[in-house]
Amino acid sequence: MIILITGRPGIGKSTICSKLITNLKDHNIVIGGLITPEVRRNNARIGFKLVDLLSGKEEYLAHISHPSSVKVGRYYVNLIALEHIGVAAIMQASVDADVIIIDEIGPMEIKSKIFFETLLNTITNKKSFVIVVHWRLKSLLINLLPKNQFKLYEVTVKNRDKLPSIILNDILSSTSEV
C-alpha cells in the first residue's frame, strides 16, 4: 500500500506523519525511512535536518548558511547527506521495516537523481509506504506511481485531526491482508 499525504504548507502534514509514527510504534510496527524536521534559531527557520528513522543518523539536509552547489529558495541543499543517509535509510527500511515513511518529497529531495530513483525503485517492493509530498510535486509523483495502487490524502483544516487514525487503519488493514 502506498499512501500519499499532501496539502498546503503549514497545514499539518508533518504533524500527521509524526502522530502516525507514534501510533504505528504503539502497534509494534517497525518504522523506517526519513523525516526532515525544521531547524529553528531565534524563532526563525534556518534549515532542515535529515533523520534516518531506523538508525537515528542525522545531518543537515539544507541550511541557509552552509553553501553548496545546489540552492532551493534561500536554502543550500546538502546532496551528499541526501545521497548517503537518505538512500541508505530507504534501502535499510526496505529490508528491516514494516512501514516506510518519507516526510517529505519536495523540491530539495528531487534535486538528487540518485535519491529520487532509489525511492521510486523501492516503492515497488510491496512494503507499506507513507510519503508526504510537497503540494507542487503531487502530480509528478502521482504520474510516476503504478496506477490505482496508492491512496492520496489532501490535508485540510477539517480533516487533519482525523487523518492519523484513518491512515493507521489503512495500514493495519493492509498488513493484516498479507
Residue type, 175: T
The pLDDT tens digits of the residues spanning 12-67 come to: 999 999 999 999 999 999 999 999 999 999 999 999 999 999 999 999 999 999 88
The fold adopted by the segment(s) 2-172 is Rossmann fold (3.40.50)
| Mean pLDDT of all residues in 117-129 | 86
pLDDT score, position 131:
93
Parse the chain into domains and list their residue ranges.
Answer: 2-172
The pLDDT tens digits of the residues spanning 77-96 come to: 999 999 999 999 999 999 99
Tell me the helix, strand and coil percentages in the chain, rounded to 5: 40, 30, 30
Biggest distance spanned by C-alpha atoms of the chain: 48
